[in-house]
Structure 1
Amino acid sequence: MDARFLGIGDLAETPSVAVVVDVMRACTVAAWAFARGAEKIVLAESLEEALALKDRHPDWVALKDDPPAPGFDAVNSPGLLRSVDLGGRTVVQKTTAGTVGALAVKDASLVLCAGFVVAEATARLLRTRGGDSVTFVVTGEDGRAEEDLACAQYIAGRAIGAVTDAAGYLRRAADSRAAGELTRGVRQGAHPDDVALCLELDRFPFAMVATPEGPLMVLRPLDVPAGTAGSGGVVDR
């Protein structure tokens, strides 16, 4: 498998297969939303679109970066989301990096969103559906975010079946600028446990697949059991 690691701004053409990586925190938050029962996540292009969708669908849960704001129900924090009951709900997510990266490759034949919490399931899916070339979209810091690059490189290694020690990759992420900012409380709308939750390797057994549904880009969980990679279906709740 030929793996490329590009920032959002470096995407000169639509890749065939794209893995969008945002460890801290959009993709981790998405995984937690599914773990808390969410049926699907709509990836919004702007805060205005997120609010408009919420206005049309009052039962949907609108989520954004930074501190709470009128019209939004939650913020982009796994620590704050882990106690929320989202059973059967639709989440609308708008963040500064993760959702932007997913929408930038929306025309790819396969779009996955990933972080360390779903790394192995993502790698298993790539083994059967990834093809010869996979583009990893390193969303943070214009493609330079160390936590996203470390996660992308780890998943790429696992996707080709390499016996890869995760410790070094997790250490790089823990020492990243984003982790430092979250630890020091620089970023608003955060929880003290956010960094630790973002670095929980393989916490969840599903991959996350984004596909167009009408005019919207929608993320859903895909169960990928060990030993039967790629044969699972959408997680049955």
Structure 2
Amino acid sequence: MSTHDHDRTDARFVGMADLAEPPSVAVVVDVMRAYTVAAWAFARGAEKIVLAGSLDEALALTARRPDRVALKDGAPAPGFGAVNSPGLLRSADLRGRTVVQKTTAGTVGALAVREASLVLCTGFVVAEATARVLRCRGDDTVTYVVTGEEGRAEEDLACAQYIARRAAGAETDAAPYLRRAAESRAARELAAGIRRGAHPDDVALCLELDRFPFAMVASLEDSLMVLRPYDTAPPLGVGGAAGGR
């Protein structure tokens, strides 16, 4: 499906199965919890995040590398120093470390669009920073990849639609979008303790709008898909410019 939120921007919302060809600009959305966790990892000092294609690859990339920590969905497991929970990660000391992340949906979505010219990974915690990057670029078409529940995750779609409106420059009340996310299946399952490797604060942390000032850009580095923070705050006295971090 697609919607024209702005005269010059075609915002397309697709599941991973609907990616017939690499998009030019891709915004990969995983609110609960991969890209909320990624943002927290950067906030806790991580230098970069390698998005792994499998659990075995994550373990291989961290073997005998004390500067790297492997992170996955679910309960803790041998070889994995972290789990995919913002509530559990927010107290970690990741200064100078590389996180190798493998999740069920979020990392898969980024790898699926690795040929795109720009890949932004996002959730509500970095929504405005993501929208700012898109506003500065002014691309004709932006593809939003809804990673959860085979493209039907309400929290991811709500976040994608909110960012698309902000990217188009529309004044937008975030409350209805956050409400949709709070009432989503993922939120209910997390709140009920159905998902392993979770913290009671995870849902609330995933719904903290614009908690962090940076966007997150993924790109290929030596055949690996690497996620890094991207500072979108303009320098003092300068408006509208985005600079790398």
Q: TM-score, normalised by structure 1?
A: 0.97
* Code of the aligned partner of 1:94: K
Deviation at 1:57, TM superposition (A): 2.1
Residue matched to 2:205 = 197
Alignment pair present for 1:186 and 2:197: no
* Code of the aligned partner of 2:210: D
Alignment pair present for 1:88 and 2:99: no
Query: How far, CA to CA, are the matches of 1:82 and 1:192 in structure 2?
Result: 13
* Code of the aligned partner of 2:79: G
Alignment pair present for 1:22 and 2:33: no
Alignment pair present for 1:233 and 2:241: no
Kept after mapping to 2: 8 A contact 1:38/1:89 = yes
Query: How far, CA to CA, are the matches of 1:124 and 1:59 in structure 2?
Result: 32
Q: 1:120 is paired with a residue of what secondary structure?
A: helix
Q: 2:45 is paired with a residue of what secondary structure?
A: coil
Query: How far, CA to CA, are the matches of 1:230 and 1:110 in structure 2?
Result: 17
User: Aligned ranges for residues 1-237 of structure 1 at < 5 Å?
Assistant: 1-225=9-233, 228-234=239-245
Query: How far, CA to CA, are the matches of 1:83 and 1:28 in structure 2?
Result: 14
Structure 1 alignment gaps of length 5 or more:
none
* Code of the aligned partner of 1:24: M
My pick for the range that moved more, 224-233 or 131-140, is 224-233
Structure 2 alignment gaps of length 5 or more:
1-8
Deviation at 1:231, TM superposition (A): 2.2
Query: How far, CA to CA, are the matches of 1:135 and 1:180 in structure 2?
Result: 27
Q: 1:211 is paired with a residue of what secondary structure?
A: strand
Q: Identity of counterpart residues, as a percentage?
A: 79
Kept after mapping to 1: 8 A contact 2:217/2:228 = yes
Kept after mapping to 1: 8 A contact 2:52/2:102 = yes
Deviations 1:84-108 (A, max 9, x none): 0111110000000000000000000
* Code of the aligned partner of 2:69: V
Deviations 1:150-169 (A, max 9, x none): 00000000001000000000
* Code of the aligned partner of 1:103: L
Deviation at 1:232, TM superposition (A): 1.5
Deviation at 1:215, TM superposition (A): 1.4
Deviation at 1:51, TM superposition (A): 0.3
Query: How far, CA to CA, are the matches of 1:209 and 1:20 in structure 2?
Result: 10
Deviations 1:51-71 (A, max 9, x none): 000115232010000000000
Deviations 1:137-186 (A, max 9, x none): 00000000000000000000000100000000000000000000000000
Q: What number of residue pairs does the alignment pair up? A: 234
Query: How far, CA to CA, are the matches of 2:176 and 2:55 in structure 1?
Result: 36
Kept after mapping to 2: 8 A contact 1:2/1:132 = yes
Kept after mapping to 1: 8 A contact 2:232/2:242 = yes
Pairwise CA RMSD: 1.0
